[in-house]
Amino acid sequence: MTEISLADFRAEVETFLSANATPKAEETEFVWGEGPDEPGLFERVDRDKERVALEEAKAWRAKRFDAGLGWISGPEELGGRGLPRAYSRLYDDLEAGYEIPNQGFFGIGLGMVAPTIAAHGDPQVAGDVLPKMYRGDIVGCQLFSEPGAGSDLASLQMKAERDGDEWVLNGQKVWTSGAHYSDIGEVICRTDADQPKHRGLTGFVVDMKAPGVDVVPLRQMTGGANFNEVFFNDVRVPDNHRLGDVNDGWRVALTTLMNERASIGGGRSGGGFTRLREMVKHFGLQDDPLTRQELMEIYINSRVLGYYGQRTMARVKAGQVPGPEMSAAKLSLTHNQRRISGMVGRILGARLTADTGEWGTYSWSDYVLGIPAMTIAGGSDEVLRNILGERVLGLPKEPGIDTTSPFKDLSVGTQR
């Protein structure tokens, strides 16, 4: 396809959007006590309404794709336009000005799973799956964490055993977002228990509707169920759905994890600075110097994180491989969310735990209860600190079961 100028592409996109979507209305000024009282990090979703929203989202992606705007930087042989990534960024900027169905359903699939399939998948399978993902015909999810292997992902125990041209999967995954509406999933399994834990893993693309796959909602302490447990009982996967080489699944996992941290660490802080600022005013603390200082620390860190996220995401969209900077972005996000949580708790006091019906008070409990999940999702804070310490600062690797301990020659448990 002949490359068109950015100006001509802009005109094409504006024509498409104006014919198929409604421009967003100007945002109204936030007024304390008015509008939805929902500052939580995780939306409580009605799954019946969610199914309707998913169908609307799929219809929009199909319309985009069929107009040549669904995979702008993708290869032409797979239905993409083959244009530079600057064109994709321009489309995103223009689309942001229109009311469109919620595209969050595709965040994990297109942001994490699709790049991994493109990098490590069988060419024939990738050629079949990727166009369908970008068209919205199928939705993808990520199946990594297990009850006994979250932050230490390489300790996972779900097994995949070869049986001719197929693999048989048995085990459990947990904290899987979107598993209940996904069509495919990227799963990492243990294929050789005799090898060191990072070397005995293999990645697969699995059919989430296959016999033996059981998805169960996972209730959180907020009362919602944004995640799932997924059980695999003799689930068969063709060998050509393997990602990368056998026992080289850790390399596959890292591709996904870096993209995951990039998406999580994009700079969002949940309840919003405006809401927090208006809370300070509502409770008469706008002239308190310590409160003002605390508020500005949150604001400054939010802005810095936003700029940092823009820079790192620009590098990713330019085709550069995500690195440790994604860990820094995600860690900065959770640190600022903790600042917000602490400030809200100090201002609201008992109002945070006792529902008096007062607007803008007890509703923040969902935010506070969501913080622990955010400090774990995409790699726990502790793991991210280790990554930065070892890969950026060059500090010695933390001792573990797969490393040499500096204390190995010391006797343990001897009596004196």
What residues contact 194, with CB distance under 8 A and at least 6 apart? Answer: 200
| DSSP 8-state class, residue 360 | T
- For residues 288 and 229, what is the distance between their CA atoms, to the nearest angstrom? 46
Of 3, 27, 95, 260, which is the active-site residue? 260
| DSSP 8-state class, residue 152 | S
Both structure tokens of 64: 């985009």
Query: Between β-strands 140-143 and 22-23, what pairing exists: parallel, antiparallel or unpaired?
Result: unpaired
Q: CA angle at residue 82 from 78 to 85, to 5 degrees? A: 120
- For residues 279 and 273, what is the distance between their CA atoms, to the nearest angstrom? 10
- For residues 36 and 370, what is the distance between their CA atoms, to the nearest angstrom? 18
Give just the sign of the alpha carbon dihedral 245, 148, 106, 385: negative
From 337, 319, 408, 403, select the one nearest 374 (Cα to Cα).
337
Query: Between β-strands 22-23 and 98-99, what pairing exists: parallel, antiparallel or unpaired?
Result: antiparallel
From 86, 74, 98, select the one nearest 6 (Cα to Cα).
86
Three-state SS at 216: strand
Give just the sign of the alpha carbon dihedral 403, 153, 306, 344: negative
From 227, 210, 73, 209, select the one nearest 144 (Cα to Cα).
227
From 114, 172, 123, select the one nearest 141 (Cα to Cα).
114
- For residues 44 and 57, what is the distance between their CA atoms, to the nearest angstrom? 19
How many CB atoms within 10 Å of residue 19? 8
**Annotation says 260 is catalytic:** yes
Residue numbers annotated as active site? 260
